[in-house]
Amino acid sequence: MKLQPAVKTETGRIAIATGVGVLVMYAVFFCLHMVVPNWAPFDIKVILGGIGGFIVAVANFLWMGITVQKVASMDDEKAARSTMGVSYRYRLLLQILWIILAIVVPIFNPVSGIVPLLIPALFIKLRGIISAGKGG
C-alpha cells in the first residue's frame, strides 16, 4: 500500500507543529529553571523526554493516517469499523506505554515526555478554529 499524499502532508504538518511545540516547551522549562531552579529542572532528561514524546506523538498520528487510508479503501463496513477500533486500541496502548516509560525510566523527565502527546490534538483544534474563523 502506497502512502497517500494527504497522509504525508498532514503527518508533516503534525510533525512541524509538534516540533515547534516541543521547542516552546523547552523554552518554558528553561525560563522556569532560571526562576526556580530547584523546582523546574532543565537538563538532558528534559531534552530526551521531549524527543521521545515527539516520536510517539508523530508515530501515533502517522499510524492513524495509515489506518484511515486503509479503512477508506474497504468495502465491508463491519471490517472497517473493527480495523479502526483495533488501531485505536493499539495506538492508545502505545501512548500509555510511553507515559509509563517516561515516568519510570530515570533518563526521562516525565512532564517533558508527556506534554508532546497533547500537542497534535491542540494543533488540530486550533487549525479548526482558525479555519472556521476564516469562513471555511
* pLDDT tens figures, 69-127: 999 989 999 999 999 999 999 999 999 999 999 999 999 999 999 999 999 999 999 99
Average per-residue pLDDT for the chain = 95
Q: Would you state the pLDDT for residue 1?
A: 74
Q: Label residues 124-133 b or e (16+ Cβ within 10 Å = b).
A: eeeeeeeeee
Report yes or no: 25 and 116 within 8 Å, Cβ to Cβ: yes
Q: Would you state the pLDDT for residue 136?
A: 57
Using only the alpha carbons of the chain, give its radius of gyration.
17
Q: Would you state the pLDDT for residue 133?
A: 80
Q: Which residue has the cell 522556569?
A: 32
Q: pTM score, two decimals?
A: 0.91
Report yes or no: 89 and 103 within 8 Å, Cβ to Cβ: no
To 10 degrees, what angle do helices 110-133 and 5-35 make?
A: 120
pLDDT band at 68 (very low <50, low <70, confident <90, very high): very high
Report the half-sphere exposure of 60 (CA within 13 A, side-chain side).
Answer: 24
Q: Would you state the pLDDT for residue 55?
A: 98
Distance CA 22, CA 49 (A): 10
Distance CA 29, CA 43 (A): 9
Take residue 16 and report the three cell numbers written for it: 512541524
- pLDDT above 70 covers a percentage of the chain that reads 99
Question: Residue 135: pLDDT above 80?
Answer: no
Q: Would you state the pLDDT for residue 131?
A: 86
